[in-house]
Amino acid sequence: MGAKTGTFPEELADIAELQAGDVVLIRRGNSIIVIDYAQLGGGYTPPVREDVTFYSNEIPNNGNDTGSVSISTRYQLVQITTDVPARVRLYTDTIKRDADINRPIGTDPVGNHGLIFEFVSSPSLLTADLSPLVDGFCDISNIPYTITNLSGSNDTIDVTLNHIKLGV
The string of pLDDT tens digits covering residues 50-106 is 999 999 999 999 999 999 999 888 899 999 999 999 999 999 999 999 999 999 999
> pTM for the whole thing?
0.74
Name the strand (E) or helix (H) holding 135.
strand 127-137
Task: Identify the pLDDT of residue 39.
Answer: 57
Q: Are 103 and 115 in contact (CB under 8 A)?
A: no
Report, as an integer, the average pLDDT of 11-24: 58
Helix (H, G, I), strand (E, B) or coil at 155: strand
The tens digit of pLDDT for each residue in 18-49 reads 565 566 666 667 776 666 555 555 555 567 78
CA 163 from chain centre, in angstroms, equals: 5
The radius of gyration computed from the CA coordinates of the chain, to the nearest angstrom, equals 21
Strand 127-137 and strand 74-82: pairing? antiparallel
Does residue 148 carry a pLDDT above 90?
Answer: yes
